Structure 1
Amino acid sequence: MAHIVFVETTHLGIQAIEAAKRFGHRVSFITSGNVDWLLTEEDKMIVSQNVDHVWNTSDTQDVDAVRHALKACSTAFPVDAVLSTLHQCVPATTAAAAELGFPSTSPTGIENARDKSRCRQLLDEAQIPSVKHASVHSAKQALAALETIGYPAIIKPTTGMGKLITTFVHSESDVLAHFEQAESQLLNLDLSLRRELSLEFIIEELAVGPLYSIEVGVSAHGEWMPFAILRRKTGAHNPILEMGSIIPCGLSEAQYDEVAQYAIRVLKVLGLDLGIFHVEFIYTQNGPRLVEVNPRIAGGTIPDLIRAATGANLFEYLVRIFLGERIGLTKLECKIAASHSLIGVAEHCTVRANLPENWFEPIQQRLHSGYVDIRPGQIVKKMHTNYDVYGVVRTTADSYDAVVSKIDGFYAEVEQVLGIKLTEIRN
């Protein structure tokens, strides 16, 4: 029996805790309570049922606080691995684990991926195909950089997540508006998110082509495992919004291999050496071009979609990788096509009061899985960020085209029953 320590969790990341317990390991959980808003009461109950020991600390985004909790934890029970599935806690978790000599992802690799400017610089130095870019602190610097980069472009924080404070710019006025609004947008976020974001920005050339992501596992045995590629959906009128995914992705076998080798090169250059990593890219006419690397397992509902299509539980592989096992896999084979769409609202509005309480049940019974948290008389807000999500619908079919058509039908049905315009999706 090994002892694995989790520092905080997401709703989805609870599956890793459940997997560790199911495998018969000792499970410890370090928490501050500061990010409990991410979990429902049911989530908290599941965590308590699958955790052997809870260690409280003041701040799970602070290296010293995490190190103090890990020391106490290891004094009671020798520690075999440490990880976090919560993006904003990953840097402190890996840094503290490294200082204490516990197996975890390289903190240098984490920082190289987390700092988008540093990431681009490392790709340039290694001559890995990338996009034109520049780091800026002001609108004046941004406008000067865009004289070389050109429009359209994207401006995003050098550190951050969820596409927060991110803008596609097509003109000088877009740039000025981005910098005028950035600080107020930051102040309106939860403290845990504010601490992860930077008001230093990177401007990137806009790569042209469809958006994809690949999940790559890396074991202590030198295994580089391109588990799955997904075609990503975005908002039709706001491409920053992430609206769902499709697997299989529609790429040919040769393209899949090209992307896998590209992603592995990127991860090696960054120094990400242990775990499962989420790499987003645009497939251009010249091949893949990096969007960003998330130095942890995919968030949102992507692992659930991969499981629906392949039967494989990525969280089980995550636990096994951190505990030093040899995995012996490369690409996961799709047994069926699967797709999901996230439920976002196109405009602020109030749900009709005569909506039946059980309105979603007839739809849910025909889905693979999903939920929608919208009730009669509820005030719902326009989807501005990837956190403004009210649910997900997920389905399966025999082919890529069939599953796209099927999930679009369910999304339209939810919209029709609610009588509310949902965020328009571009597949």
Structure 2
Amino acid sequence: MAHVVFVDSTAPTLTALETAKEMGHFVTFIRPADASALKLSSLSRERIESAEKSVDQAVVVDRLEADLLGALRRIHAERRIDALLTTSELAVIPTVRAAEELGIRATSTLSMETAVTKDLCRDSLREAGIRSARHFRAEIREQAVEAARSLGLPLVIKPSRSAGKEGVAIIREERELSDYFDELPSSRRAMSQTVATLVSTRLLMEEYIEGVLHSAEIIANDGDIEVFMIARREQATNNPLYEVAAVLPAGLTDVEQREVKEYMQEIFSRLGLTVGVYHVEFIMSGDGPVLVEVNGRIMGGMAPFVYRHITGLDPFRLLVQEHLGEKPHVPRPPFGSAGISIALGSVSGGILPDGVEEQVEKVKQKYQPLASSLNLRSGQRIPKQLGNFTVFGFCCLPAETTEQARARGLELISDLENVLGFDIAKYAL
């Protein structure tokens, strides 16, 4: 029986704690009071308490950055830690830093910091001659204007470290860059305090790459990577910065999949990412895959439910095995089915009509979702979507093929629009 310690969690990935227990391990869950990803969801206190009761030991630390290492030293002294991991973007750096201090198997802090800090990552790839978007960094308006004239328009501007697309914008005209800086102070004040702990004030500016957004789910495997799934990321027609859905598998050709694997191997070797499960976003451009960002944690949202439907394998089992240094068997394409995880966001916001509960249940009965979080009620106010943290629900649908999954997702969105009475962000087929 190994001792597996999780530091923080998102709402959907609380299931990982239960998976580790089912695998027969002693499980400790550490929840930071100040900067937990659980605060970014509408998860009930009862669900969190249920997850904490399912493990062998639950520990709350006041401050993630300041108190984590001390708590882990005490836990490690009482029962040696065999695997230290997180499914929360907020906890990635503190977790690998603590693992390095305690001598627990993990990617080095330097490698992880370089990978997840976008401008440092771009610098490293450029120095190694690995394909990457042209970029500049900026902290003030004047630097940004100069960078924009060098890069040309359109371009993308974003914090060098962020979450949930906070602070990200596509700039198509120079006046939009000025507007971005005018609005920056108020947008940062409006940001959740939890997210603000992660978002950098240093900005990355990079050329806009045309193509389809994808993600690769990767096991580091001591540097010899395993790409265990590639997903297509559907972007909203009303704002391409918002991701409406993840479609698994992506439907790439064998040649394209090999190209992605070779490109990701170059990136992981260059950055020194040797331990963990990573969610890496990239654009499939006319010249091949181009990195968007490296996330030092497993796929988020409800995509793990879709992966399990397609392969019959719990991805959280892969996560635990990887951190224990085991070599898990990974199902390979072609897969016999497909699925889609949809993030539902309102284009304008609205108030739900009377009787919405019964109508939503009818929609669920029609589509038979693999999983959903459509806990809606009459009179509920739904906010306008402003990013990944303002969606009002998720829904995962099974399908036979990638294209069928994409079509079913749009059909579900259309049916829900009729029930809810407002436009929902959608993607183009």
The question of a shared fold, defined as TM-score above 0.5 by the shorter chain, is answered with yes
Indicate conservation of the 8 Å contact 1:114/1:160, yes or no.
Answer: no
User: What is the Cα deviation at residue 332 of structure 1?
Assistant: 5.2
Task: Name the counterpart of 2:242.
Answer: 241
Matched, 1:48 2:52: yes
Please list the CA deviations of residues 1-36 of structure 1 after superposition, one character each: whole Å capped at 9, or x if unmatched.
110111111112212211110011111112233335
Single out whichever of 183-192 and 411-420 deviates more from structure 2. Answer: 183-192
Indicate conservation of the 8 Å contact 1:368/1:396, yes or no.
Answer: yes
User: What is the Cα deviation at residue 305 of structure 1?
Assistant: 2.0
Single out whichever of 44-53 and 95-104 deviates more from structure 2. Answer: 44-53
Secondary structure of the equivalent of 1:387?
helix
Any gaps of 5 or more consecutive residues in structure 2? none
User: What is the Cα deviation at residue 218 of structure 1?
Assistant: 1.5
Please list the CA deviations of residues 368-394 of structure 1 after superposition, one character each: whole Å capped at 9, or x if unmatched.
322323321111111111111111222
User: What is the Cα deviation at residue 309 of structure 1?
Assistant: 2.0
User: What is the Cα deviation at residue 328 of structure 1?
Assistant: 4.0
What code does the residue aligned with 2:68 have? V
Q: Note the 1:257-336 alignment, pairs <5 A.
A: 257-329=258-330, 331=332, 333-336=334-337
What code does the residue aligned with 2:82 have? D
In structure 2, how many angstroms separate the alpha carbons of the residues matched to 1:341 and 1:374? 16
Task: Name the counterpart of 1:149.
Answer: 151
User: What is the Cα deviation at residue 190 of structure 1?
Assistant: 2.1
Matched, 1:411 2:413: yes
Indicate conservation of the 8 Å contact 1:226/1:330, yes or no.
Answer: no
User: What is the Cα deviation at residue 76 of structure 1?
Assistant: 1.3
User: What is the Cα deviation at residue 333 of structure 1?
Assistant: 4.5
Indicate conservation of the 8 Å contact 1:393/1:411, yes or no.
Answer: no
What code does the residue aligned with 1:233 have? E
Alpha-carbon distance change, 199 to 168 in structure 1, aligned in 2, over 3 angstroms: same
Q: Structure 1 runs of 4+ off > 6 angstroms?
A: none
Secondary structure of the equivalent of 1:70?
helix
Secondary structure of the equivalent of 2:144?
helix
In structure 1, how many angstroms separate the alpha carbons of the residues matched to 2:2 and 2:401? 41
In structure 2, how many angstroms separate the alpha carbons of the residues matched to 1:139 and 1:308? 47
User: What is the Cα deviation at residue 149 of structure 1?
Assistant: 0.7
Alpha-carbon distance change, 113 to 404 in structure 1, aligned in 2, over 3 angstroms: same
In structure 1, how many angstroms separate the alpha carbons of the residues matched to 2:300 and 2:23? 23
Secondary structure of the equivalent of 2:389?
coil
User: What is the Cα deviation at residue 112 of structure 1?
Assistant: 0.7
In structure 1, how many angstroms separate the alpha carbons of the residues matched to 2:141 and 2:150? 15
In structure 2, how many angstroms separate the alpha carbons of the residues matched to 1:357 and 1:56? 36
Q: Note the 1:175-214 alignment, pairs <5 A.
A: 175-214=177-216
Please list the CA deviations of residues 316-346 of structure 1 after superposition, one character each: whole Å capped at 9, or x if unmatched.
1000111111224373542202113211101
Secondary structure of the equivalent of 1:13?
helix
Please list the CA deviations of residues 262-306 of structure 1 after superposition, one character each: whole Å capped at 9, or x if unmatched.
112112211211111111111111111111111111212222222
Task: Name the counterpart of 2:33.
Answer: 33
Indicate conservation of the 8 Å contact 1:5/1:79, yes or no.
Answer: yes
What code does the residue aligned with 2:131 have? P
Q: TM-score, normalised by structure 2?
A: 0.95
In structure 1, how many angstroms separate the alpha carbons of the residues matched to 2:74 and 2:304? 32
User: What is the Cα deviation at residue 358 of structure 1?
Assistant: 2.5
Q: TM-score, normalised by structure 1?
A: 0.95
Q: Note the 1:65-214 alignment, pairs <5 A.
A: 65-214=67-216
Matched, 1:355 2:355: yes
Task: Name the counterpart of 2:226.
Answer: 225
Task: Name the counterpart of 1:13.
Answer: 13
In structure 2, how many angstroms separate the alpha carbons of the residues matched to 1:196 and 1:77? 31
User: What is the Cα deviation at residue 399 of structure 1?
Assistant: 2.0
Indicate conservation of the 8 Å contact 1:80/1:102, yes or no.
Answer: yes
What code does the residue aligned with 2:177 have? V
Secondary structure of the equivalent of 1:372?
coil
Indicate conservation of the 8 Å contact 1:281/1:289, yes or no.
Answer: yes
Indicate conservation of the 8 Å contact 1:224/1:330, yes or no.
Answer: no
Indicate conservation of the 8 Å contact 1:309/1:336, yes or no.
Answer: yes
Indicate conservation of the 8 Å contact 1:20/1:319, yes or no.
Answer: yes
Indicate conservation of the 8 Å contact 1:183/1:199, yes or no.
Answer: no
In structure 1, how many angstroms separate the alpha carbons of the residues matched to 2:165 and 2:428? 17
Indicate conservation of the 8 Å contact 1:343/1:372, yes or no.
Answer: no
Task: Name the counterpart of 1:394.
Answer: 396
Please list the CA deviations of residues 67-88 of structure 1 after superposition, one character each: whole Å capped at 9, or x if unmatched.
1000110121111111111111
Secondary structure of the equivalent of 1:89?
helix
User: What is the Cα deviation at residue 312 of structure 1?
Assistant: 2.1
In structure 2, how many angstroms separate the alpha carbons of the residues matched to 1:411 and 1:308? 21
Please list the CA deviations of residues 143-165 of structure 1 after superposition, one character each: whole Å capped at 9, or x if unmatched.
11111111000000011111101
Any gaps of 5 or more consecutive residues in structure 1? none
Task: Name the counterpart of 2:347.
Answer: 346
User: What is the Cα deviation at residue 121 of structure 1?
Assistant: 0.6
Higher share of residues assigned helix: 2
What code does the residue aligned with 1:50 have? S
What code does the residue aligned with 1:276 have? V
Single out whichever of 281-290 and 325-334 deviates more from structure 2. Answer: 325-334
Please list the CA deviations of residues 114-157 of structure 1 after superposition, one character each: whole Å capped at 9, or x if unmatched.
21110001100111111110000112111111111110000000
In structure 2, how many angstroms separate the alpha carbons of the residues matched to 1:333 and 1:325? 24
Indicate conservation of the 8 Å contact 2:107/2:272, yes or no.
Answer: no
In structure 2, how many angstroms separate the alpha carbons of the residues matched to 1:12 and 1:356? 24
Single out whichever of 1-10 and 50-59 deviates more from structure 2. Answer: 50-59
What code does the residue aligned with 1:77 have? R
In structure 1, how many angstroms separate the alpha carbons of the residues matched to 2:299 and 2:196? 21
Task: Name the counterpart of 1:426.
Answer: 428
Indicate conservation of the 8 Å contact 1:21/1:27, yes or no.
Answer: yes
Indicate conservation of the 8 Å contact 2:224/2:265, yes or no.
Answer: no
